[in-house]
Structure 1
Amino acid sequence: MIRRLVALALLATAAVAPAENPQFQGADPHAVMIDGELWVFPTGGPGGSWAADRFGAFSSRDLKTWRPRGELIRRDQIRWIGDDGAKEHFLWAPGVATRNGKWYLYYSVGPQNPTPSRIGVAVASRPEGPYVDSGKPLVTGGPGPTGRGFEAIDPMVFTDRRSGKIYLYAGGSAGATLRVWELAPDMVTIRREVAVPTPPQFTEGAFMHERRGTYYLSYSHGRFNGPDYSVHYATARSPLGPWRYRGAILTSDARRQGPGHHSFVTTPDGRTLIVYHRWEQPPAPAPLKGERQVAIDRVRYAKDGRILPIRMTEGAASPVLRPR
């Protein structure tokens, strides 16, 4: 217990040692550019500090040295978390969004069994918080509209610049079902669910981005702790499909396994990066051992808009941020 508390104190105050790929220990990273600095909101973080009961954030101006941004919210600050009667709960897979000067932290509360998983949302005036929970779950898992089961995990919020509508993407694992809702402008209320097909090879971890009129729905495929974990994508002319499956873009190689649960981010100079987690080990059967590591790599597009296969890097080959 004392060791964990010390780790958490360091998480909130100390700079993370200079690093290249892999950047630091953690998983499920949601990356956002804020004032020329790359912020990462992960499950866990450097120093082995993941206790599954709180979220932190980390930022960097060069992708070499990371600044801990402190504690965002703790499990014991979410009053409704024990309403389901389950004996234990874990927090994972955060996603953030901003609107009208406020920041919104969406997060998964699990596990799925014996009670359904849930997605919550908390609000802050700054990206580093502190965040205050909205007071109730935003989405609860269960049978789902397809009858195959729905696990309420891995939230991602996307605002469509064309229509101004705000969409929440979530789901995966149990039933491997994708669901989408339109959010009200307050960002903490669901306006309606929008029926969308689940794309081929979808398991979890949906992420939406738009480029030159094409909407890219990317997601993780495979077992989260297996070598088949990978990133696939589909495209559409709207953020709601119909999807055209385009294949895998990030897969295991001879030195790194199970890359996935990612986010895309555009740097101030117009480049696109993918931020994801992986295991630093050669091929092995599931379950992979050790801790997941956050890594960052370059994304390149073909002239026809396809995402080219992404090559995982390490050391000096890792991307850096260029000064503004």
Structure 2
Amino acid sequence: MRLYLALILLAPPLAANPVMDGADPHASVVGKTYWLYPTEASSRDPVFAAYRSTDLRSWKREGVILELDKVPWVKADGAPWHGAWAPALAEKKGKFYFYYSVGPQNPTPSRIGVAVGKSPSGPFTDSGKPLLTGGDGFEAIDPMVFTDPSFGGKSWFYAGGSAGAKLRVFEMADDMVSFKREVNVEQPQHFTEGAFMHLRGKIYYLSYSDGKWNDSSYSVHYATAPSPTGPWSYRGKILGSDDKHQGPGHHSFVENPATKEWFIIYHRWETTRKDPPFRGGRKIAVEKVEYDNKGLIQPIKMTDGRAR
């Protein structure tokens, strides 16, 4: 009984969803630590920051890891302002690679950059040029890099969405700051943007957002495949608006390294109204993910309580 009480007292308080302000959260696990990279809540401050946690509940902002104003090529398009959106992190051979979206999307095309660091907390040094530029019906946003342990450690780059709603996939070169080749892939059903790839067992899960980012149609769908590049078998919508929250999407999946449980980290609007414009900015939340005996993801219910 004394041991039981001691464990209760030592346990950290459970944080309620949502866990923080922000959008487009990309989560990674490094060792026993979760790292989170969101689009910051203020669009007037074009920077990226890193957050860390040991329990997916309490997050500490480690500080700014990249400032767009200090990346020389960002201003080369002549646009009067630039947005810092939808980042992602990848680790390979002891280095960390930070991929990020640079707006605007109109009239100049969106671009994706990549910076390199020795730690998930940075500092990150930009590679010196855009990795991918939009145009011709493709919008270069929402990067995601997946390193496949089952196929010789190859790394695959996923990007695209919104205008044109087109997914593009590339095999990364060994330097992780350039492409080896583009892979032609079929377009997943109901794909709009925000692709994410994770592997569980022998099943590859391509998940993504559908709908309009700022209304109640925004939702998360997924497909499965026998490889990181398809062919995709569409499996349906797993996360959508409810009576209390609207437009959940642009997410990432993360696995607890100790328990092997999976979680989804996503953003949503905290409002009961169905018609935009929504007020108050987006919030980030965490939910546990359940799979059935065939490996299919069960519908995810949004909560206002603990993450697990």
Gaps of 5+ in 1: 1-16, 144-148
**TM-score calculated relative to the size of structure 1:** 0.88
Contact 2:43-2:84 within 8 A present in 1 as well = no
CA apart distance, 1:50: 4.9
Aligned residue for 1:76, secondary structure, equals helix
Contact 1:168-1:181 within 8 A present in 2 as well = yes
Aligned residue for 1:83, secondary structure, equals helix
* Aligned: 1:159 with 2:147: yes
Partner of 1:54: 47
Partner of 2:201: 212
Partner of 1:71: 64
Rounded Cα–Cα distance in structure 2 between residues aligned with 1:63 and 1:179: 30
Partner of 1:307: 297
* Aligned: 1:235 with 2:218: no
Q: Residues 220 and 238 of structure 1: is their aligned pair in 2 closer, same or farther, counting only changes over 3 Å?
A: same
The one-letter code sitting in structure 1 at the alignment partner of 2:144 is M
Aligned ranges for residues 60-139 of structure 1 at < 5 Å? 60-139=53-132
Rounded Cα–Cα distance in structure 2 between residues aligned with 1:63 and 1:29: 12
Rounded Cα–Cα distance in structure 1 between residues aligned with 2:78 and 2:130: 15
Partner of 1:28: 24
Contact 1:253-1:283 within 8 A present in 2 as well = no
The one-letter code sitting in structure 2 at the alignment partner of 1:88 is W
1:236-286 CA-to-partner distances (Å, cap 9, x unmatched) read: 111111111110000011111110000000002100000000011113212
Partner of 1:14: none
Rounded Cα–Cα distance in structure 2 between residues aligned with 1:306 and 1:139: 33
Identity in percent? 56
The one-letter code sitting in structure 2 at the alignment partner of 1:302 is D
1:277-316 CA-to-partner distances (Å, cap 9, x unmatched) read: 001111321232221000000100011111000011112x
Partner of 1:244: 233
Rounded Cα–Cα distance in structure 1 between residues aligned with 2:57 and 2:156: 33
* Aligned: 1:281 with 2:271: yes
RMSD: 1.4
Rounded Cα–Cα distance in structure 1 between residues aligned with 2:43 and 2:212: 21
Aligned residue for 2:77, secondary structure, equals coil
Gaps of 5+ in 2: 1-12
**TM-score calculated relative to the size of structure 2:** 0.93
Rounded Cα–Cα distance in structure 2 between residues aligned with 1:263 and 1:242: 21
The one-letter code sitting in structure 1 at the alignment partner of 2:235 is R
The one-letter code sitting in structure 1 at the alignment partner of 2:265 is V
Rounded Cα–Cα distance in structure 1 between residues aligned with 2:57 and 2:223: 32
1:170-208 CA-to-partner distances (Å, cap 9, x unmatched) read: 000000000001111110011111101111100000000
Contact 1:227-1:288 within 8 A present in 2 as well = no
The one-letter code sitting in structure 1 at the alignment partner of 2:189 is P
Contact 2:15-2:307 within 8 A present in 1 as well = no
Aligned residue for 1:81, secondary structure, equals helix
The one-letter code sitting in structure 1 at the alignment partner of 2:295 is G
Aligned ranges for residues 188-203 of structure 1 at < 5 Å? 188-203=177-192
- Picking from 260, 267, 286, the partner of 1:270 is 260
The one-letter code sitting in structure 2 at the alignment partner of 1:153 is I
> Which consecutive segments of 4 or more residues in structure 1 shift more than 6 A?
none
Rounded Cα–Cα distance in structure 2 between residues aligned with 1:49 and 1:287: 17
- Picking from 149, 166, 185, the partner of 2:174 is 185
Rounded Cα–Cα distance in structure 1 between residues aligned with 2:202 and 2:55: 30
Rounded Cα–Cα distance in structure 1 between residues aligned with 2:36 and 2:146: 17
> Number of aligned pairs?
294
CA apart distance, 1:141: 0.3
The one-letter code sitting in structure 2 at the alignment partner of 1:157 is V
1:89-140 CA-to-partner distances (Å, cap 9, x unmatched) read: 1110000001111111000011111111100000011111111000000000
Contact 2:43-2:83 within 8 A present in 1 as well = no
